[in-house]
């Protein structure tokens, strides 16, 4: 009997597969199905500060228009807290998910102001979230902003949120930092209990008919796992006490095995579940179990980190050698 238990952010999980944020994890019935299919935890869709602000703005405009048209209109909405609408929806989802699910529920925040990050993280924790994931999605396009300043802002934010909530905090990072190993360590030193590697960046496209910029969301492809896989393998020995989650390109049980072997505590999936539905989680876990049994692994714990870069005293030189090997492996 294979032991599938894992531990992530101090939480006990029945399996190492986590459903990462997407529209799927925003629906209670799907969350229940994901739990039934065996995922160890769920991360709810991010609460965006802009979402809360824009809903408040719309309501505000409606109230003002209504109030101008009918003098008694404000009586219909006597005490509405204008900035709480988008938030209410997320809070309700957290409350319902925490009541109905037995697996850990992690809430995700994407703020804009320092106050917004802290306040929404606190609200989601009060609603019952067992951990907070900070979705650090930021395109640093300001030419006046140095890399050091961008990193400092991230670190201050992590420290701020860490000091404001009493549940574990993970940070979902982009891969675009010039010295990832150093920066990851600083994020942990600032208080992060876990790192989620990596956020996927979505590049808009140009419509040649209208010359409009068009949003283009493409689901990930299996090969995309290699970027987070490499960094999990590098960071595992450097951050032995930090929870590591792999996200991007997980499309099979074999991919979950790779993530664990590299040193991830959990492996997350979105695209594969969006493509095939929440029951795909069950198949992914079956595939993992079959692979483990065939390769004489008795537990996820035994698997974890067994091919991280412990063996390489100089990860930089190891990576350079790999690069040379890859280039010379091409056979036309
Ligand atoms: C439609 C969609 C919505 C997403 N929404 C969020 C979100 O709200 N917060 C977040 O941190 N990531 C979000 N993601 C990113 C996923 O959680 C995941 O990190 C990414 O898709 C890479 O994993 P995958 O290769 O398994 O899809 C979203 C992805 C998709 C496709």
Q: Does 244 fall in a domain?
A: yes
Residue 299's Cβ-count burial label (10 Å; 0-12, 13-18, 19+) is: middle
Q: Is residue 65 scored above 50 in pLDDT?
A: yes
Work out the average pLDDT over 233-252. Answer: 97
Q: Which H helix or E strand runs over 120? A: helix 114-126
Query: Which tens digits make up the pLDDT trace of 1-15?
Result: 899 999 999 999 999
Query: Which tens digits make up the pLDDT trace of 187-200?
Result: 999 999 999 999 98
Atom nearest to 196 CA in ligand 1: 19
CA 21 / ligand 1 centre spacing (Å):
5
Atom nearest to 172 CA in ligand 1: 11
Categorize the per-residue pLDDT at 58 as very low, low, confident or very high, splitting at 50, 70 and 90: low
Q: Is residue 159 scored above 70 in pLDDT?
A: yes
Work out the average pLDDT over 279-294. Answer: 97
- Of residues 232 and 59, which shows the higher confidence score? 232
Q: Does 181 fall in a domain?
A: yes
Residue 206: CB atoms within 10 Å: 11
Contacts of 189 (CB under 8 A, 6+ apart): none
pLDDT of residue 62: 55
Q: Does 281 fall in a domain?
A: yes
Q: Which H helix or E strand runs over 42? A: strand 41-43
Rounded to 10°, the helix 85-100/28-36 angle is: 30
Atom nearest to 217 CA in ligand 1: 31
Q: Which H helix or E strand runs over 206? A: strand 205-206
Ramachandran quadrant class, 267 (left: phi over 0; alpha: psi -120 to 50; beta: rest) = beta
What's the rounded Cα separation, in Å, for the pair 102 and 115? Answer: 31
Return the residue whose CA atom lies nearest to atom 28 of ligand 1.
22
Residues found in the chain = 332
pLDDT of residue 161: 97
Q: Which residues line ligand 1 (CB under 6 A)?
A: 20-23, 45-46, 108, 135, 172, 200, 217, 219-220, 247-250, 269-272, 274
Atom nearest to 46 CA in ligand 1: 8
Residue from 20, 43, 215 to probe ligand 1 pocket by mutation (most atoms less than 8 Å from CB): 20
Q: Does 1 fall in a domain?
A: no
pLDDT of residue 138: 81
Residue from 52, 270, 271, 273 to probe ligand 1 pocket by mutation (most atoms less than 8 Å from CB): 270
Q: Does 307 fall in a domain?
A: yes
Query: Which tens digits make up the pLDDT trace of 318-330?
Result: 677 777 777 888 8
Query: Which tens digits make up the pLDDT trace of 68-99?
Result: 444 444 443 334 444 445 789 999 999 999 99
Q: Does 17 fall in a domain?
A: yes
Token pair 């459903």 is at which residue? 19
Q: Is residue 275 scored above 50 in pLDDT?
A: yes
CA 271 / ligand 1 centre spacing (Å):
7
Work out the average pLDDT over 9-29. Answer: 97
Q: Tell me the C-alpha to C-alpha distance, in Å, between residue 22 and each of 6, 75, 158, 187, 291.
A: 22, 38, 23, 24, 28
- Of residues 16 and 331, which shows the higher confidence score? 16
Q: Is residue 171 scored above 90 in pLDDT?
A: yes
Q: Does 252 fall in a domain?
A: yes
Question: Domain range spanning residue 140?
Answer: 6-328
Q: Tell me the C-alpha to C-alpha distance, in Å, between residue 272 and each of 34, 173, 204, 259, 267.
A: 13, 21, 22, 15, 12
Q: Does 217 fall in a domain?
A: yes
Task: Write the CATH number for 278.
Answer: 3.20.20.70
Q: Which H helix or E strand runs over 36? A: helix 28-36
What's the rounded Cα separation, in Å, for the pair 74 and 244? Answer: 50
CA 273 / ligand 1 centre spacing (Å):
11
Contacts of 268 (CB under 8 A, 6+ apart): 17, 18, 19, 20, 43, 196, 245, 246, 247, 250
Number of domains in the chain: 1
Residue from 22, 30, 272 to probe ligand 1 pocket by mutation (most atoms less than 8 Å from CB): 22
Token pair 């969350």 is at which residue? 31
pLDDT of residue 37: 98
């Amino acid at each position: 009997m294979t032991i599938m238990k894992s531990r992530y952010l101090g939480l006990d999980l029945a399996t190492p597969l986590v459903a990462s944020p997407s529209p799927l994890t925003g629906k209670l019935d799907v969350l229940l199905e994901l739990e039934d299919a065996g995922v160890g935890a769920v991360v709810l869709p991010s609460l965006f500060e802009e979402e809360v602000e824009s809903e408040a703005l719309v309501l505000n405009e409606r109230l003002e228009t209504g109030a101008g048209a009918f003098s008694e209109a404000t009586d219909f909405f006597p005490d509405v807290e204008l900035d709480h609408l988008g938030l209410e929806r997320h809070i309700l989802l957290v409350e319902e998910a925490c009541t109905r699910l037995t697996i850990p529920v992690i809430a995700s925040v994407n703020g804009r102001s320092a106050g917004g990050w802290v306040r929404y993280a606190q609200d989601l924790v009060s609603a019952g979230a067992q951990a907070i994931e900070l979705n650090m999605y930021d395109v640093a396009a300001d030419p006046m902003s140095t890399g050091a300043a961008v990193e400092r802002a991230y670190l201050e934010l992590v420290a701020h949120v860490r000091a404001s909530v009493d549940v574990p905090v993970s940070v979902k990072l982009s891969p675009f930092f010039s010295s990832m190993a150093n920066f990851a360590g600083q994020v942990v030193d600032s208080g992060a209990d876990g790192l989620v590697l990596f956020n996927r960046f979505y590049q808009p496209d140009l419509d040649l008919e209208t010359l409009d910029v068009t949003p283009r969301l493409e689901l990930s492809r299996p090969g995309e796992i290699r970027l987070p896989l490499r960094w999990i393998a590098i960071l595992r020995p450097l951050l032995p006490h930090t929870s590591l989650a792999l996200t991007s390109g997980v499309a099979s049980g074999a991919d979950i095995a790779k993530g664990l072997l590299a040193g991830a505590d959990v492996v997350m999936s979105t695209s594969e579940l969006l493509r095939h539905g929440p029951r795909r989680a069950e198949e992914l876990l079956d595939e993992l179990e079959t692979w483990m049994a065939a390769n004489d692994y008795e537990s996820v714990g035994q698997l974890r980190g067994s091919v991280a870069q412990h063996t390489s005293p100089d990860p930089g030189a190891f990576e350079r050698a790999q690069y040379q090997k890859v280039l010379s492996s091409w056979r036309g």
